[in-house]
Amino acid sequence: MPLIELTGIERVFQLGDSEVHALAQLDLAIDAGEYVAVMGPSGSGKSTLLNLLGLLDRPDAGVYRLENRDVTTLSPEEQARVRSRRIGFVFQSFHLVPRLTAAENIALPMTLAGIPPRQRAERVGRALQDFGLEHRADHRPDQLSGGQRQRVAIARATIMEPALLLADEPTGNLDRHTGDEVVHLLEELNGRGVTLVVVTHDPALGARAKRQLVMEDGRLKQDSSTRV
Amino acid sequence: MRTADILRFARDAALGTPLRTSLSVLAMSIGVAAVVVLTALGDGARRYVVGQFASLGTNLVIVLPGKTGTGGFNPATAITSTPRDLTVDDAAALLRAPAVKRLAPLAVGTSELSFGGKLREGMVAGSTSQLLEVRNFELAQGQFLPDEDWNRGSPVVVIGAKIREEIFGATPAIGQLVRVGDRRVRVVGVLKSAGTGLGMDTDQLIIVPVALAHALFNSNTLFRILVEAKSREAIPEARDQVLSILKSRHQGEEDVTVITQDAVLATFDKLLGALTLGVAGIAAISLAVAGILVMNVMLVAVTQRTGEIGLLKALGATGRTIRLAFLAEAAMLSAVGAGVGYLLGHLAAFGIRLAFPVFPAYPPDWAVIAGLGTALSTGLVFGVLPARRAARMDPVQALMKH
């Protein structure tokens, strides 16, 4: 049974007089535990697809089933709840809250979900250890290196133990070495059963994934799993 | 999101922009402080005036010679146009009025008091022994004027605290012979220091028996008759009785004015109460301005933190959570501003009291409560719009702004 099931997804943006089909007649299924890279040129609809999968955006047509549940018809508040429990985001520019410490940034999804402080502290402590950030707990983002920042961001994305991890160019702002570290970290999480969807320009990063999706003009141009 | 977490989040967010936060707190605190200080001044003025009147005596009815006002044609006024003077006999006649408890005639003039080479000019009040009770005077030393026939005029004097200090200094004043005008009189009492009472500085007063004052000034008229009614309720009755007795004594002509202390007091109380209310209203405008400023600050905060709002949404924050976080921040700004303003206002009122000890500059409770309430509610009301704007933000657009 697939974790994600998209059928006939359409997303149209109005740019002046013309309509831009960011996503057109998209059908896609991703199983739980898969490692998928989404590639393609700028404007091909990669980011729109990722936002849609993350319930940040709504399709104009079509059905999105997450864990066998139609999530397109949910109210914004219900979607927020699904995002909170089932989906984790990793961004290219990390998106850490500058005034919060590393530990507080990691705890943020739990804070927003209303998890009691004691449980939060316990889980943050474990995450800091898992991601090698024990000595950086009280540092603010501007006191951390790029690699450390992205590790904090990944710890934050996984603290709620989501089923789906969405990464938008996770190595885009990092040098090769730290980028590799971050990729290994994500792959390790995937190895533990988290479904990983990575959007990237980088062919080397894309090639590491077990399944590659190539997009062009809002359509799926190539899917490595069907080609085989 | 838990309430404690929302509050902590809002606090951290506010502290993240110290300058902007402190400026809006300052604006709010100036508004609240203005309400506190201005109402303290207004209410202080009211209390001061009311206190001054009350210190004149209780249940007082004051009789003045002459009548102001326009009357119809009266055969009496056709013959004599000048009002009759008030005399000691008039005053004595008023004692017959059943609603009158006691009274004191008052003749006033200026004269010198000299002793041991020192000479001091002062206001001389000629009266009787009852003036002590009627005017609520208190004695520091000795006794007041003797209870005697009003026409006798024993050669005695009671002096104010300041006169005693300046003329006698450290030497005892009681029993000394001094000269008032061309009379030699003996000091029998010294008044307790009480400050000014409606232009009459009791500390500089020279009180002699009324007959002596008349002899000094070579006249037989009274400046005032101070009448004390039996009770508060008896004041209007006393007023009517006084008027009718004097009218019959003055050949049916109503040529005196009777003021009741109550009426004057109520008028001033109302007048200055309205003044305080008006001043509070003006100060409240500054509170509204501060509220709008808080809204502005919050709108800027929402715009500046667009990326953060997008992130919070991506991390699973509901619209409600974001709305609450921004509302809490606005409420915090105005609450802290209100608190600081409250302290500032009280500090300023304290400063005023320190600088002018006679002026009771205490802000009234209603003004303080209204000021704080207005500050908090404007902060919240003006916080709603930015909070809603934040909650409605499209997360995809918001995230791109980071």
Contact criterion met (CB < 8 Å) for B313 and A57? no
pLDDT of B71 reads 53
Closest CA to B279 of B41, B27, B28, B29: B41
How many angstroms away from the CA of B4 is the closest CA of chain A? Answer: 10
Residues B314 and B362 in one domain: yes
Sheet containing A35-39: give its strands across. A87-90, A164-168, A195-199, A35-39, A211-216, A219-223
Rounded distance between C-alpha atoms, residue B10 and residue B16, angstroms: 10
How many angstroms away from the CA of A176 is the closest CA of chain B? Answer: 24
Residues B270 and B375 in one domain: yes
B141 located within any domain: yes
DSSP H or E stretch at residue B34: helix B18-54
Contact criterion met (CB < 8 Å) for A76 and B307? no
pLDDT of A127 reads 94
Residues B354 and B314 in one domain: yes
Query: pLDDT 10s digit of each residue in chain B, 402 long?
Result: 888 999 999 999 999 889 989 988 998 899 899 989 999 998 888 888 877 777 677 788 888 888 765 555 555 555 555 567 889 999 999 998 999 999 999 999 999 999 988 888 889 999 999 998 888 888 888 999 999 888 888 999 999 988 998 888 888 989 999 999 889 999 999 998 876 555 567 888 899 999 999 999 998 889 989 999 888 788 888 989 999 999 898 888 888 888 887 777 788 888 888 988 888 888 888 888 888 888 888 888 888 889 899 999 999 999 999 999 999 999 999 999 999 999 999 999 999 999 988 888 899 888 889 888 888 888 888 889 999 999 998 888 888 875
Residues B384 and B325 in one domain: yes
B321 → chain A, closest CA residue: A112
Residues of A in contact with B20 (CB under 8 A): none
Answer whether A165 touches B (CB < 8 Å).
Answer: no
Domain boundary among B221, B254, B287: B254
B259 located within any domain: no
Residues of B in contact with A93 (CB under 8 A): 402
What ipTM score was computed for the predicted complex, to two decimals? Answer: 0.91
B24 located within any domain: yes
Residues B278 and B150 in one domain: no
Residues B242 and B301 in one domain: no
Interface test with A, best of B2, B312, B315, B400 (most A CBs within 10 A): B315
Answer whether A120 touches B (CB < 8 Å).
Answer: no
pLDDT of B70 reads 53
Q: A217 in the Ramachandran plot: left (φ > 0), alpha (ψ -120 to 50) or beta?
A: left
Interface test with B, best of A87, A112, A156 (most B CBs within 10 A): A112
What pLDDT digit, counting tens, does each position of A30-87 carry? 999 999 999 999 888 898 999 999 999 999 999 999 999 999 999 999 999 999 999 9
Domain boundary among B229, B254, B279: B254
pLDDT of B402 reads 57
CATH ID of A34-56+81-212+220-227, from 3.30.565.10, 3.40.1010.10, 1.10.260.40, 3.40.50.300: 3.40.50.300
Residues B246 and B137 in one domain: yes
pLDDT of A88 reads 95
B59 located within any domain: no
Contact criterion met (CB < 8 Å) for A97 and B2? no
Residues B211 and B313 in one domain: no
Interface of B with A (CB under 8 A): 1-2, 5, 9, 12-13, 15-16, 307-308, 311-321, 395-396, 399, 402
Residues B333 and B237 in one domain: no
Quote the percentage of chain A above a pLDDT of 70.
99
* B197 touches B55 (CB < 8 A): yes
In the predicted model, what is the mean pLDDT of chain A?
A: 92
What pLDDT digit, counting tens, does each position of B205-223 carry? 899 999 999 999 998 889 9
Instruction: List beta partners, residue B103.
Output: B227
Q: What is the helix, strand, coil percentage profile of chain A, to 5? A: 40, 30, 30
DSSP H or E stretch at residue B346: helix B319-355
pLDDT of B138 reads 86
**Number of folded domains that form chain B:** 2
Residues B77 and B221 in one domain: yes
Q: How confident is the model over A143-163, as a mean pLDDT?
A: 93
B61 located within any domain: no
Contact criterion met (CB < 8 Å) for A112 and B316? yes
Q: A94 in the Ramachandran plot: left (φ > 0), alpha (ψ -120 to 50) or beta?
A: left
Residues B19 and B71 in one domain: no
B260 located within any domain: no
Contacts of A101 (CB under 8 A, 6+ apart): A137, A138, A139, A140
DSSP state of A134: G
What pLDDT digit, counting tens, does each position of B100-147 carry? 999 999 999 999 999 988 888 889 999 999 998 888 888 888 999 999
Rounded distance between C-alpha atoms, residue B53 and residue B63, angstroms: 16
CB-nearest to A114 from B1, B315, B402 is B1
pLDDT of B50 reads 79
Residues of B in contact with A158 (CB under 8 A): none
Structural domain containing residue B377? 3-53+266-400
B248 located within any domain: yes
Domain boundary among B232, B254, B276: B254
Q: What is the pTM of this model?
A: 0.72
Residues B159 and B291 in one domain: no
Contact criterion met (CB < 8 Å) for B318 and A160? no
pLDDT of A228 reads 45
B395 → chain A, closest CA residue: A56
